[in-house]
């Protein structure tokens, strides 16, 4: 085996002139050239991060890919791979430090852009896509690293491989910045994990491709054999260690995809029968659980029928018991702006009440549906709402804070609560009922420090008190 490898390396080995050209493409030799090089890299990094972040926030895949045409990520990654096969330890560490520095800068810049942007109500799918690293991402990174190294050695256009490398690195970094600003720390960690997964795979694939293409001379392999071997083994072991959990997670993703395909037959029929909308679905294969987030005018019924159909038709129902858990949110039909014949109809007294509405934090006391039925917050919990300027409302509970929009004209009121990471409060059913009732409010009255919001169709009244 060893003589065969030796003959293969001898066959593919580049001439000294060809090797010099490849290395000149990878590295900046001479201090005079370093400052202009780093300046160009910084400018391109800022521009590409701006474009990528805007594309992620606007949920535009085309803009995200367009940003990769500008991103300067390929050169330092391939330089790290080249330094490994040449046995240049100092240049290897310098290249890796440059990649990590660019990564930190991209995260911070993306976070700054996000803070200056309008509030995110629904997390864009382009961002969420970078929080689900799978085994396929590892394969893509390996192929991208190999393609990048091959084009450099063969003097081919590096534009397309450069885009592939940048796609694997920059979007996860920009997504991490967005997620950190929005408080989604767990998802931000996943995005950063995807970045490191791709980086490890591309350096490994690039180094192996450089060796196969003859970039590493026999003298380097002799004098720096320990360094080359150690770094190749390190990246190989890291890639293997990462691939195992990614493969397991990929199986779950595939399983979810199969189940989503079955929705059109099983789930959609049940949803139509119940006049419900499926806002989110999560499958925990290891726990054999299906988590459903539902929205509709009435609570779901016929769960037994749904369970039986899934048992018969889906992969989850393979003869073993499983569990369906659901969260239901009431959907309220409304209209904005609230209809009124004229703005002049707003009386001075109504305006005073509107001013008082904005001046206080209102704590939920209870909701009275009829003489016998009502709802109130659990013991020890406090739910409250804040009406702010520019028609923004916040409803808060122990599990988190929900943002929405409201409008008033006279004493008429319209409220719509929006969601970000809705599953965060899925276990607080009392809060979900409170949010549903809040959106059914049609009017408001303030009397002796108490806020009253009647519900549509005379379904009840929500009572609030001023926060002391």
pLDDT at 100: 92
pLDDT band with cut points at 50, 70 and 90 for residue 385: very high
**What's the whole-number mean pLDDT along residues 25-38?**
72
Q: Write the pLDDT tens digit of every residue in 50-67.
A: 998 998 888 888 888 777
Percent of the chain at pLDDT > 90 equals: 10
Bridge partners for 394 per DSSP: 386, 403
Q: CA–CA separation, 444 vs 407, rounded Å?
A: 11
pLDDT at 462: 94
Q: Which of 90-94, 181-185, 295-299 has the highest mean pLDDT?
A: 90-94
User: So what's the architecture of 343-466 in CATH?
Assistant: Beta Barrel (2.40)
Domain spans of the chain? 2-255, 264-330, 343-466
In the predicted model, is pLDDT for residue 109 greater than 90? Answer: yes
Question: Please, how many CA atoms are within 13 Å of residue 226, restricted to the half-sphere of its CB?
Answer: 0
Q: Which two tokens stand for residue 454?
A: 């009647």
Pairing of strands 289-296, 323-330: parallel
468 vs 359, higher pLDDT:
359
pLDDT at 422: 47
pLDDT band with cut points at 50, 70 and 90 for residue 250: low
261 vs 241, higher pLDDT:
241
**What's the whole-number mean pLDDT along residues 307-335?**
68
Q: Write the pLDDT tens digit of every residue in 387-435.
A: 987 788 999 888 788 888 888 887 788 888 765 444 466 667 788 888 8
Scored b (16 or more CB within 10 A) or e, 148-165 reads bbbbbbeeeebeebbbbb
For the domain spanning 264-330, the CATH number is 3.30.300
Q: CA–CA separation, 33 vs 24, rounded Å?
A: 12
User: Quick one: 249 exposed, middle or buried, by C-beta within 10 A (0-12, 13-18, 19+)?
Assistant: middle
The SS3 of residue 310 is helix
Q: Which two tokens stand for residue 82?
A: 């080249």
**What's the whole-number mean pLDDT along residues 192-211?**
88
pLDDT at 464: 95
pLDDT at 463: 94
pLDDT at 362: 94
Name the one residue in this structure whose structure tokens are 């409201």: 406
pLDDT at 252: 59
Which of 95-109, 116-130, 138-152, 365-379 is the least confident region?
A: 116-130
pLDDT band with cut points at 50, 70 and 90 for residue 115: confident
**What's the whole-number mean pLDDT along residues 35-61?**
87
Task: Output the CA–CA distances (angstroms, integers) from residue 432 to 225, 282, 328, 372, 441, in the order listed.
Answer: 63, 19, 8, 21, 15
Mean pLDDT for the chain?
77
In the predicted model, is pLDDT for residue 147 greater than 80? Answer: yes
pTM across the whole model: 0.56
């Amino acid at each position: 085996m060893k003589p065969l490898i030796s003959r293969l390396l001898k066959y593919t080995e580049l001439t000294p002139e060809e090797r010099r050209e490849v290395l000149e493409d990878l590295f900046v030799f001479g201090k005079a050239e370093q400052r202009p090089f780093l300046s160009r890299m910084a400018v391109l990094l800022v521009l590409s991060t701006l474009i990528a972040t805007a594309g992620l926030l606007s949920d535009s895949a085309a803009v995200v890919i367009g940003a990769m045409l500008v991103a300067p990520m390929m050169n330092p990654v391939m330089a790290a791979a080249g330094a490994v096969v040449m046995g240049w330890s100092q240049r290897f560490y310098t290249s890796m430090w440059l990649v990590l520095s660019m990564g930190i800068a991209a995260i911070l810049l993306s976070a700054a852009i996000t803070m200056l942007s309008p509030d995110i109500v629904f997390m864009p799918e382009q961002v969420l896509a970078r929080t689900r690293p799978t085994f396929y991402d590892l394969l893509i990174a390996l192929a991208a690293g190999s393609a990048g190294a091959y084009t450099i050695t063969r003097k081919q256009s590096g534009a397309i491989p450069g885009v592939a490398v940048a796609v694997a690195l920059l979007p996860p970094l920009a997504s991490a910045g967005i997620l950190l600003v929005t408080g989604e720390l767990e998802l931000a960690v996943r995005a950063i994990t995807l970045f490191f997964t791709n980086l490890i795979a591309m350096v490994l694939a690039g180094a192996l491709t450089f060796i196969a293409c003859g970039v590493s001379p026999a003298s380097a392999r002799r004098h720096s054999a320990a360094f080359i071997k150690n770094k190749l083994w390190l990246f190989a072991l890291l890639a293997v260690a990462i691939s195992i959990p990614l493969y397991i997670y990929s199986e779950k993703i595939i399983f979810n995809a199969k189940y989503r395909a079955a929705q059109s037959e099983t789930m959609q029929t049940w949803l139509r029968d119940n006049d419900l909308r499926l806002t989110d679905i999560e499958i925990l294969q290891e726990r054999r659980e299906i988590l459903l987030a539902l929205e509709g005018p009435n609570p779901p019924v016929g769960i037994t029928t749904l369970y039986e159909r899934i048992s018969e038709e889906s992969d989850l129902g393979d003869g073993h018991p499983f569990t369906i858990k659901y969260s239901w949110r009431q959907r309220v039909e409304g209209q904005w702006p609230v209809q009124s014949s004229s703005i002049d109809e707003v009386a001075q007294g109504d305006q005073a009440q509107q001013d008082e509405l904005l001046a206080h934090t209102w704590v939920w006391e209870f909701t009275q549906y009829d003489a016998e039925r009502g709802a109130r917050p659990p013991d020890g919990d406090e739910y409250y709402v804040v009406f702010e300027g520019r028609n923004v409302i916040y409803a808060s509970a122990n599990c988190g804070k929900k943002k929405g929009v409201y409008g008033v004209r006279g004493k008429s009121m319209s409220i719509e609560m929006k969601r970000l990471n809705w599953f965060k409060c899925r276990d607080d059913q009392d809060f979900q009922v409170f949010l549903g009732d809040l959106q059914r409010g049609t009017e408001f009255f303030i009397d002796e420090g108490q806020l009253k919001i009647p519900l549509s169709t005379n379904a009840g009244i929500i009572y609030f008190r001023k926060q002391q």
